[in-house]
């Protein structure tokens, strides 16, 4: 080995030392920065991020590699990438890791959140919980017995379509993520488990949906071509009350801006990530987390999607129409 080889080896040693030092510096505890800087970098408060870390710590601490990222770093990297929707290389540079590490981290955190989704995404089970949900919905526009508002929204990745039911507090109570964007709302609901639960009598209230759904005894839609003052009043109250699900989608997409600008990845990972966003969104609602006042998107982007197309054929809903007419005569 000559002198040039020795010099080259010394240079490599110095470069590796610099890389280790630089990485350790960037991987410092992100919770040590000020609250204001933290919210600017990650779009959520420290309290929200700390709660998320605590929920996932055990799951995220298990890593067979020799030098795993801490649960804290994993969570904040995922939050920053999802909420700001910056390219993964930028998130990687900020935290002294590689782009593949950020990609793997986002997938790992999403899978961990999806595993606990049943704790945070659920319909009201007890009669007391259902009664409280109905009471809150009635306070919006005096529309009685509503237990949820239902609609679908497009996700900007491979034209995925998500169906969601939300409550009067804008929380997501149920989601379906497995359908492509060309499917009608009526079919998604017809084949979802929630429909089966309503038909089995699991809930005392009704859902409100738009005209893309069939009118059933447990899912009320607007009256097409209303002819009486009662029907017109019903439609006004229906629109005001059901609008809660549109607001839910808008807030959800503002918090996780990659939903507005497009997501990447295989279909299975995207579905788990959508569930993860819903879990985080509900936790944020519980913690009264405010949406970061960042750049505004156009109303067109924030809209849940294009107006619903009414299928050429909707299954006969005679029982639903009769039940709705009786409901209108009694309450409006």
Return all residues near 263 (Cβ < 8 A) that are at least 6 apart.
155, 156, 157, 270, 273
Q: How far is the C-alpha of 85 from the C-alpha of 262, rounded, in Å?
A: 9
Contacts of 300 (CB under 8 A, 6+ apart): none
Cβ atoms of residues 162 and 152 within 8 Å: yes
pLDDT tens per residue across span 156-173: 766 677 889 999 999 999
Nearest CA-CA partner of 304 in 246, 256, 259, 262? 246
For residue 72, what pLDDT is reported? 92
Instruction: Report whether pLDDT(262) > 80.
Output: no
pLDDT at 300 over 50: no
CB–CB of 80/49 below 8 Å? no
With H, G, I as helix, E, B as strand and everything else as coil, classify residue 206.
strand
pLDDT at 56 exceeding the cut of 80? yes
Average of pLDDT values for 74-84? 91
Give the CB-side neighbour count of residue 292, counting CA atoms within 13 A.
23
Radius of gyration of the chain (CA): 24
Specify the higher pLDDT residue, 177 or 303.
177
**What are the DSSP calls for 25-56, one per residue?**
HHTS-GGGS-HHHHHHHHSS-HHHHHHHHHHH
280 pLDDT above the threshold of 60: yes
* Helix residue ranges per DSSP H, the chain: 3-26, 35-42, 46-61, 71-84, 88-95, 99-115, 127-141, 185-190, 193-199, 229-255, 258-261, 267-286, 299-302, 318-331
Q: How far apart are CA 93 and CA 309, in angstroms?
A: 44
Q: How does the average pLDDT of the chain come out, rounded?
A: 83
For residue 90, count CB atoms less than 10 angstroms from its CB and return exposed for 0-12, middle for 13-18, buried for 19 or more. Answer: middle
Interatomic CA distance for residues 277 and 296, integer angstroms: 20
Return the pLDDT at 189. 85
Report pLDDT for 63.
Answer: 62
pLDDT tens-digit series, residues 211-228? 889 999 999 999 998 999
CA distance 121 to 313: 32
Assigned token pair, 276 = 């993860």
Instruction: Kindly report the backbone phi and psi dihedral angles of residue 282, in degrees, each rounded to the nearest multiple of 5, phi listed first.
Output: -65, -40
Provide the whole-model pTM: 0.84
Give ∠ CA 206-212-218 in degrees, rounded to 5. 15
Res 252: pLDDT: 93
Query: Token pair for residue 12?
Result: 């490599």
Q: Between the ranges 7-11, 23-27, 35-39, 188-192, where is the mean pLDDT highest?
A: 35-39
């Amino acid at each position: 080995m000559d002198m040039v080889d020795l010099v080259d080896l010394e240079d490599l040693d110095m470069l590796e030392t610099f890389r280790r030092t630089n990485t350790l510096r960037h991987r410092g505890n992100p919770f040590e920065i000020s609250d204001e800087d933290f919210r600017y970098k990650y779009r959520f408060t420290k309290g929200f991020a700390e709660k998320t870390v605590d929920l996932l710590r055990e799951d995220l601490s298990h890593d067979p590699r020799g030098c795993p990222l801490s649960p804290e770093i994993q969570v904040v990297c995922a939050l920053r990438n999802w909420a700001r929707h910056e390219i993964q290389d930028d998130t990687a540079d900020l935290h002294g890791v590689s782009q593949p590490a950020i990609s793997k981290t986002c997938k790992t955190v999403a899978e961990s959140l999806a595993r606990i989704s049943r704790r945070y995404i659920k319909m009201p089970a007890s009669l007391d919980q259902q009664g409280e949900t109905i009471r809150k919905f009635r306070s919006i526009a005096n529309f009685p017995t509503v237990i949820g508002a239902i609609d679908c929204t497009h996700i900007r990745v491979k034209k995925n379509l998500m169906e969601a039911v939300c409550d009067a507090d804008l929380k997501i109570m149920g989601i379906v993520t497995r359908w492509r964007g060309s499917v009608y709302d009526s079919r998604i609901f017809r084949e979802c488990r929630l429909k089966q639960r309503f038909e089995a009598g699991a809930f005392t209230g009704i859902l409100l949906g738009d005209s893309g759904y069939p009118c059933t005894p447990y899912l009320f839609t607007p009256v097409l071509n209303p002819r009486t003052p009662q029907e017109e009043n019903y439609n006004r109250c229906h629109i005001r009350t059901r609008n809660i699900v549109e607001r839910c989608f808008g807030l959800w997409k503002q918090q996780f801006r990659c939903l507005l600008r497009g997501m990447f990845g295989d279909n299975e990972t995207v579905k788990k990530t959508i569930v993860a966003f819903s879990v985080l969104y509900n936790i944020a609602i519980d913690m009264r987390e405010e949406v970061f006042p960042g750049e505004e998107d156009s109303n067109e982007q924030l809209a849940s999607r294009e107006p619903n197309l009414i299928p050429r054929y909707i299954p006969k809903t005679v029982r639903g129409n009769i039940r709705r007419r009786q409901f209108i005569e009694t309450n409006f």
